[in-house]
Structure 1
Amino acid sequence: MDSFITIRFKRDTAKRFQEFSKTHFKSHTEAMAAILDFFLYNEISPKEKFGPSGRTLEANLKKRMNAIIAIMRDIEKTQTKPTVAMLESLFQTEEPKNKPLILEKKFIEEKKAVHFQEKRHATHEP
C-alpha cells in the first residue's frame, strides 16, 4: 500500500478540490493524478488562456446566423419575388379577347341599319 503525504492548501482551495474530486473521481488521489496527466499529455499550462469560451462562440454564431437570415430575406423581397412575378406574367396564357376587326365593325353597323320593311301593296278596290 502506498503511503500518504500531507500537502497544505488554503481552506477554500481544498474545499473546491474536494467537491470536484467527489463529483468526478473515486478518490482525491485519482483526481489529482488525472489533472496532472491532463496538463502533461496535452502540453498545456494551467495559466494559459484558450481563447473564447463556448458561450461566446455560440453568441457570435447566433449573431452571424441572424445576419445571414436577414440577408436572405432581403434578397427574397428585392430580387427573387419580383423576378418570379415577372416570369409568371410572361408565361401566363390568357385567351385574347375576340375584338372584331375594324372592317367587320362597319359591316355589322351597316347590317344593323337595314331593317325589314313592310311591302306596301297597292290595294285595288273594285
Structure 2
Amino acid sequence: MDKGYEKEGFVTFKIKISVAIRFRRFCKKMSESQSMALLLMIAFFEENGISPHEAIGPKMQTLESLIKKRINGVIAIMKDIEKNQTKPTVAMMQSLFEQAEPSKKNLILEKELPEEKSKVRFVERLENDDEL
C-alpha cells in the first residue's frame, strides 16, 4: 500500500492501451505503485515549473550560459582586486621591509680547534718483539 494514502479509494482513468502498458512498465522500473508514480511525476513538473510540452534542453543551456557569465564576473572581480589592492599592498610592504632591514651581524662560527697529532695507540708486534 502507499504510505499516507491507505484509506483513500480508487478512481479509474480512461487511457489508451498502449499508454497504459508503457506506464505500467515505467512504474515497475521505478518500483512504485501506479498512483505513487503519477504523483511523483506531477510533483516533479510543479516543483521545476515546467510543462510536459516544453523541451528541457534550452532551459539547461540558458542555465549553463548564466552560470558561465556569473563565473566570468567573479573572475573579473578577483583580477581587479589583485590588480588594485593586493599588488600595491605587497609592493608597499616590501618597500617598508627593505628600509627597515637590520644591520647584518657576523654569524657566530664554531671555533677551529688545532688538529691533534695523530697518536698511535696500538702497534703491531712482530715475532722478534717478544723480548721487550
TM over 0.5, shorter chain: no
Higher relative contact order, chain-length normalized (CA < 8 Å, sep 6+) = 2
Task: Give the TM bin, normalised by the shorter chain.
Answer: 0.3 to 0.5
Q: TM-score, normalised by structure 1?
A: 0.39
Q: TM-score, normalised by structure 2?
A: 0.38
Please tell me whether Structure 1 or Structure 2 has the larger radius of gyration of its CA atoms. Answer: 1
